[in-house]
Structure 1
Amino acid sequence: MSDPLAALSARGVSIWLDDLSRERLVSGSLADLVADKHVVGVTTNPTIFAKAITAGDAYNPQLHDLSVRGVEAEEALRALTTFDVRAACDVLRPVHDATNGVDGRVSIEVDPRLAHDPEATIAEARALWWLVDRPNLFIKIPAVRQGLPAIAACLAEGISINVTLIFSLSRYDAVIDAFLDGMERARQAGHDLSSLGSVASFFVSRLDAEVDARLDKIGTAEAAELRGRAALANARLAYQHYEQVFSSRRWEALRDAGARPQRPLWASTSTKDPASPDTRYVVGLVTAGVVNTMPEATLRAVGDHGQVPTDSVRGHYAEEQQVLNRLQALGIDYDDVVQKLEDEGVAAFEASWDRLREQLSATLRAQPAGQHRS
Structure 2
Amino acid sequence: MQKIKIFVDCHVFDGNFQGTTTYIKGLYAKLIQEVNCHFFFAANDIVFLETIFGAHKNLTYIQYKTKNKFFRLLFDIPNIIKKNKIDYAHFQYVVPPVKKCKYIVTIHDVLFLDFPQYFPLGYRLKNKLLFKRSAKCSDIVLSVSEYSKAQIQKHFGIEKVFVTANAVDPIYFEAFDKRTIQKEVERKFGVNNYFLFVSRWEPRKNHHRLLKVFVEKEHYKNHSLVFIGDKAIENKTYTDYYAGLPETIKAKIFTFNKVNFEDLLLFVRGTNLSVYPSIAEGFGIPPLESLAAGIPTICSNTTAMADFHFLKDCQFDPLNEADLNTKIHFGLTNQDWPKMISEMKLVYSWQKAKTDFINALYDFEASKK
Structure 2 length as normaliser, TM-score?
0.30
Which has the bigger relative contact order, CA under 8 A and spacing at least 6? 1
Identify, as 1 or 2, the structure richer in strand: 2
Identify, as 1 or 2, the structure richer in helix: 1
